Amino acid sequence: MEIGLDQILKEPHASLLRGKRLGLVTNSSSFDNRYKSSVLCLHDHYDLRVLYAPEHGLDGSAQAGKMIPESRDPHTQIPIRSLYQGEHTRLDPSLFADIDLLVFDMQDVGLRFYTYTATLEQLMHGGVPLLVLDRPNPLGGIVVEGPILDAEHASFVGLAGLAVRYGLTIGELALFLNGERAIGCDLQVVPLQGWRRTQRWEDLKRPWIMTSPAIAHCSAIELYAGFCLLEGTNLSEGRGTSAPFELFGAPFIDAYQLSLEVGKLNLAGVRFTPITFVPSTGKFQGQACHGLYAHVIDSGHFRPFSTALSVLSLLWDLYPEHLSFNASFTRLAGFSEQAIARANLSATLERIEEEARTFEYIKRSYERYA
């Protein structure tokens, strides 16, 4: 399989880059098949003028929500401009005044929560031609899950019109955004060669290079698809441990009781074991948290978003005086916590399944791979 970056020296793609002042949106997770970074790939062969860094910075080390100052790449001395402006919805056009073509090469995770998707949409409004170097969706291109976010709940961690797990590559997503939103971006995509929609990351036999500080392991992505919702609660989602989103807990939880009760839910494709952990940062820093570690045993049947809702609903029943929700839950989920109260959970799960089917139909016209 070849990703878009592997093909930039071949025609017809090379002619798109040759003779132009280039800007590159990337970070430290972007390498080609020879383990050469996207920065060096373009710098060594084309006129690369500016590097643009999304959330977490060019080196991918900054924590979520941290603003990144402008700097220079220590290896090439090319200036680095930060695209991460928090919740701002428009980028200053002057950021792109000295380039002719913007190249976007970012490894995405295929989930609405990830802010690289919002950055992509912002760039499409920037008034500069955009070339997206396609990369595989680590979760494959078949399964869609979660509700379609409405405009009322749209934010930088959630683009309106997207399901949570949208089943498109980053190149297909760009085509979807340009088409569904009628943006009118001068957009081209260097497609993947040899990728099939049924392929997940583990099928590709490629190493995973962390795309952000909390997604260090490929195994975390599938669980992040649901347990990112815990960021909208007072539960630790595992930040400050070696396995964010793979484990969760709080000081007030009885891990063994919770393990027994979750087991009774018969959740498809996943098992949970009790665990105690002490986060080094984030919620409950330095405190012992008791909770569960998730083990995906059947990805074909596991539905992380619905699973996380069911677990949260159970926790609300077990710890009504301890569990609390904040505004981030609504932004991430697209609905308030009342939708997962015991009396409402079944209807909510049915609704999100219906919306997932709707999105699955919509996205088909933007699919470029079988």
pLDDT band at 61 (very low <50, low <70, confident <90, very high): low
pLDDT of residue 50: 97
Q: Residue range 348-369: average pLDDT?
A: 98
- Measured from the Cβ of residue 145, the count of other Cβ atoms closer than 10 Å reads 25
DSSP assignment of 184-201 equals ---EEEE--BS--TT--H
DSSP assignment of 117-160 equals HHHHHHHHTSSS-EEEE----TT-SS--BSPPPPGGG-BTTB-T
Which of 71, 78, 3 minimizes the C-alpha distance to 36?
Answer: 3
Which of 64, 67, 62, 63 minimizes the C-alpha distance to 84?
Answer: 67
Q: Residue range 155-177: average pLDDT?
A: 97
Do 81 and 128 touch, CB atoms closer than 8 A?
Answer: no
Position with higher pLDDT, 59 vs 119 = 119
Calpha distance 142→68 (Å, rounded): 35
Distances (CA, A) of 262 to 68, 248, 267, 314: 41, 13, 8, 8
Do 84 and 35 touch, CB atoms closer than 8 A?
Answer: no
Task: Enter the pTM of the model.
Answer: 0.95
Calpha distance 331→188 (Å, rounded): 31
Q: Residue range 188-208: average pLDDT?
A: 96
Q: Judge if 4-212+360-366 and 219-334 fold alike in CATH terms.
A: no
Give me the half-sphere count of Cα atoms (radius 13 Å) on the Cβ side of residue 248: 27
Q: Average model confidence (pLDDT) for the chain?
A: 95
Q: Residue range 159-184: average pLDDT?
A: 98
pLDDT band at 88 (very low <50, low <70, confident <90, very high): low
Q: What is the pLDDT of residues 21-41, one digit of tens each?
A: 999 999 988 999 999 999 999
**Percentage of the chain modeled with pLDDT above 70:** 97
Do 182 and 130 touch, CB atoms closer than 8 A?
Answer: no
- Which amino acid is present at 277? F
Q: Is pLDDT above 70 for 103?
A: yes
Do 234 and 323 touch, CB atoms closer than 8 A?
Answer: yes
DSSP 226: H
Question: How is residue 250 written in tokens?
Answer: 């709080």
Q: Is pLDDT above 80 for 89?
A: no
Q: Residue range 114-142: average pLDDT?
A: 96
Residue 342, classified by CB atoms within 10 Å of its CB into exposed (0-12), middle (13-18) or buried (19+), is exposed
**Phi and psi of 268, rounded to 5°?**
-70, 135
Question: How is residue 164 written in tokens?
Answer: 């949570």
Domain ranges of the chain: 4-212+360-366, 219-334
Polymer length of the chain? 370
57-87 as b/e, with b when 16 or more CB fall inside 10 Å? bbebebeeeeebeeeebeeeebebbbbbbee
Distances (CA, A) of 218 to 17, 173, 300, 303, 305: 32, 21, 16, 16, 17
Task: Let me know if domain 4-212+360-366 sits in CATH 3.40.50.12170.
Answer: yes
Q: Is pLDDT above 80 for 68?
A: no
Reduce the DSSP state of residue 103 to 3 states and report it.
strand
Query: Residues 6 or more apart from 264 whose CB is under 8 A from it?
Result: none
Place of tokens 């989602």: 237
DSSP 208: -
CATH number for the domain running over 219-334? 3.90.1150.140
DSSP assignment of 235-301 equals SB-STTSSSBTTEEEETT--HHHHHHHHHTT--TTEEEEEEEE--SSSTTTTS-EEEEEEEES-TTT
